Structure formats: structure tokens, C-alpha cells
Amino acid sequence: MKDNVCLDKDTEPPDEETEPPGKDPCLSSIPPIISASSSVTLTSLLFPDSKKNHRTGPRHEHSGARFTISPRSEAFRKKFFPEVSISDWNDWHWQLGNRIRTREMLSRILRLSKSELGALLNRRTPLPVSVTPYYAGLLDADNPLQALRRTVIPVESECMHARGEDDDPLNEEKDSPVPGLVHRYPDRVLFLVTDFCSTYCRYCTRSRMVGKRSEDCLSRGNWEPALRYIEKNAQIRDVLLSGGDPLTLSNHRLEWLLSRLRRISHVELIRIGTKVPVVLPQRITPALTRMLKRYHPLWMSIHFTHPDELTPETRHACGRLADAGIPLGSQTVLLAGVNDDVEIMKRLVHGLLQLRVKPYYLYQCDPISGSFHFRTPVQTGLDIIRGLRGHTTGYAVPTYVIDAPGGGGKIPLLPEYVAGREGDSLILTNYEGKAFRYPDCGGSGAGN
């Protein structure tokens, strides 16, 4: 296999307005690394399009120099992209145009383990590989077991298929009346508006379709059948935009979609599911939040995984969204060796509240193909909830759910707090394990 073969089947961002000009980085020939004393800079060799993949002009708004850059990101930028200005670094178009997608590029930034190299060579991984330069700066170069690194760099286990795993474990295709729409619950739909993500999570439930230009997940301009379905079904009051990541769409395209949905009188609520504030926080520009504000009530579910993601950049992005009046919730997938620990989860949920993000769901990892190394026993999730409930602010405690394989929907799980019944009394245990008796003998509620 060629050294710089691109692992990302979806080599284009989803929309011509977000695509910076220049060659596809995957197809670029990357010369061998040279000594730092050479007159040719390291960046231009490692990331030959890092300066080209940038567009200026009237439609090109970005966070620019006014956006936060943390000391860690700044050190990473200086080391690997010294020719790139802070303003360009903070430009989400630049970040998208310079995603790290090849084994060659990864190996310059990370000391790849045998298992990571094996997976990158194998190419049987169901998902493309892509990491924004910003998020790559959060990865530990020397430790393949670092939590964030495990979530975005494939390992050989990803190529294995364990018992009970499936490419579509939630059977979304069964509940898809038109391409790109999942209608499982009566009053709400999941609208898969793009198959593109800036950074691909190795445990993605939709790895069968994201980054693949799949028929089941809509690509640009192909939203009409789904919109018509929503228009015709008056019981749909809630539309969740997902994918792929809807916030990788341009403002123009996203606004077209939001305005179109807002014209449907029975659609009360629009939600956006995204990981962009975590992996591409520079995308949360003032122009984006000004536009989103026009489509309230608009809620946002942000995909956080680990407290190391709570950076100054992400804080800035979430602050902009919260200031725009968008209620923010976090959806976290429980992952072995990443966040399957009460103290890690406590740091995450405490940090989220400070960012004005409510920890909303803790998901048991879906049994997608190649996910065995990520999945924990259900008891681990129950123990985490028990370690949070009563031990911290109630707002900080997410609902732990299993999305039932086969398409049964989300089923909440709670540790057992009811110890039994004695006569008319319910015996309950509190967060400290102490037993309490509740007189469960209320009347009819008539009052006399």
C-alpha cells in the first residue's frame, strides 16, 4: 500500500461553500521529512496544502484572531504549522481543508502503535479517518492509550466483528420512510442532513454511512423528499438534524434548511446533534450564532466524550451558543478505557455545567461492527450513575440509556434504589446506601 493513501472515502467537505480551494490533501505527494535547518519549512512538507487551503472573500467569515487559542493549541500550531497564522488557524475553513487523514500525516504527529499502524494499513476499517488539526493538537503523541486518541485513531480491533455486532444495530433502515429520514417515535424524526464529519469517532453508530456518500444519508441538495415527508405528517413536532455533522454545512445551506423547516407549522422544535463545538470549535462564529438565533426554539445536543475536550476553545464556542439562547445538552457514549470511570465522568459533567451544557444522555455504546474494544458491561454505566446521583448537582447527572438493538428506542437504566416493600411502606436506599421507609399508602387524591 502506498504510504500516503487516503483512508477517507469522503474526500470532500459537503458543500462547495465550505470547501477551500487547492488539491485534495489525500492526493498530495508528501516528500520525506527533512532536517529543521533546511530552507524548506517542515509544514510545507508535511501539510503541503496548509497555506493553500484557505479562501478569503466576502462570504468567508470566520472566528479569526478574536477566537481563543489555548497555549496547547498554540504550541502545536507552532510546531507543525509554523507558516499558518493564528487567524488562519482559527478559521474553520482552514481547519476543514487541512484535516489529517493519511497514515503519513498521522505518523508525523503521533508515534503510531503497532495496532494503529495495522489498522491504517489494513483499510478494512468501516470508517474513514479524519481529525481536524485543532483536535489533533489534543492528542498525546506518545501514548496510544490516551482517551482522546483512542476515540479518533483506529486500532486493529476495529477490523474485527464480535458476536452480536451489526452494521446497523439500531435498525434505522427499517424505520426510514425516505432516504435520510428515520421516523421511529411518532412525534419526532431524525433527519440525516449530511454524511460528512470533520472528525470521525471510531465508535460511530452510523459508521455504515458517514463519510461514504451513502444513499441512506443525504448529500447536498437532496433533502426534498425528507422535507415533503415532514410536511405531510402533521404529528411530527420535533426534528433532530444529525448525520454526519450538520454544523459542517455552510451558514447559507443550514439557514435554507432551518427556514424551510420553520415554514412547516406543525414543527415546534428543531434540534441539532453535533460534535463540532468539540472538534472544530472555530466553526461557532458570530455569523453562525446570529443566524441560528432566528430559528428558535432551537436546541443543540453536543457530543462530548472526555474532560480533556473542555478546552478554552470549546468553552468559547459553547459560550457563543449559550449566549445565542440555544439550550445546550451533552450526549456522551460510555467507552471502555476512555470515560468508564466515575471520577473522569464527574470531571466531565462538572466541566460541562460550567460551560452551560446540561449532561443529557450517557449512552451505552451500541454494538456496531468493530466496537467490542469500546464496549463496557452495563454494570459500569450503572455504577457511574450511582457514583454521580446524590454525590453531585442533580443537573450534572445524565440519563443512562441503551438504544435497544433492533430499533426499540432508548431505554433508561437506573441503579436499584428500591430495596423492597414492607406492608404499605416502600424501602428505599439513598446515595449513601442508607435505607429509608416511605409510606406508600396515599389516597385517591380527592382530599376529603
Residues in contact with ligand SF4 by CB under 6 A are 197, 200-201, 204, 206, 210, 243-245, 275, 303
Other Cβ atoms closer than 10 A to 397: 20
Q: Are 115 and 165 in contact (CB under 8 A)?
A: no
Q: Which one of the listed residues 26, 201, 217, 318 is annotated catalytic?
A: 201
Please say which residue, 46 or 348, places its beta carbon nearer to ligand SF4: 348
Q: Please give the Cα distance from 1 to 248 (Å, whole number).
A: 31
CB-nearest residue to ligand SF4: 204
Nearer to ligand SF4, 46 or 333 (CB): 333
Report helix, strand or coil for 103. helix
| Minimum CB distance to ligand SF4 smaller for 137 or for 246 | 246
285/371 with CB nearer ligand SF4: 371
The single residue of 101, 188, 315, 320 carrying the catalytic annotation is: 188
Between 329 and 387, name the residue whose CB sits nearer to ligand SF4: 329
Neighbours of 117 (CB within 10 A): 15
Residues 6 or more apart whose Cβ sits within 8 Å of residue 405: 164, 166, 169, 170, 171, 366, 367
Catalytic residue among 8, 91, 168, 403: 403
For residue 340, what is its C-alpha cell? Answer: 468508564
Between strands 188-192 and 238-242, the pairing is parallel
- Least distance (Å) from ligand SF4 to the CB of residue 275? 4
Q: Least distance in Å: CB of 362 to ligand SF4?
A: 15
Both ends of the chain: CA-CA distance in Å?
A: 82
From the CB of 130, what's the least distance to ligand SF4, in Å?
Answer: 9
Residue 356 annotated to the active site: no
Q: Quick check: 377 and 340 in contact, CB under 8 A?
A: no
- In the residue annotation, 441 being an active-site residue is answered as no
Element (H, E) at 150: helix 147-152
User: Residue 410 catalytic?
Assistant: yes
Whether 124 is a known active-site residue: answer: no
CB of 392 to ligand SF4, least distance (A): 26
Distance CA 8, CA 212 (A): 8
To the query of whether residue 159 is one of the catalytic residues in this protein, the response is no
SS3 261: helix
Shortest distance (Å) from residue 78 CB to ligand SF4: 28
Catalytic residue selected from 26, 197, 217, 318: 197
Residue 242 is inside which H or E element, if any? Answer: strand 238-242
Query: Known catalytic residue: 59?
Result: no
Q: Catalytic amino acids? A: 184-185, 188, 197, 201, 204, 206, 366, 403, 410
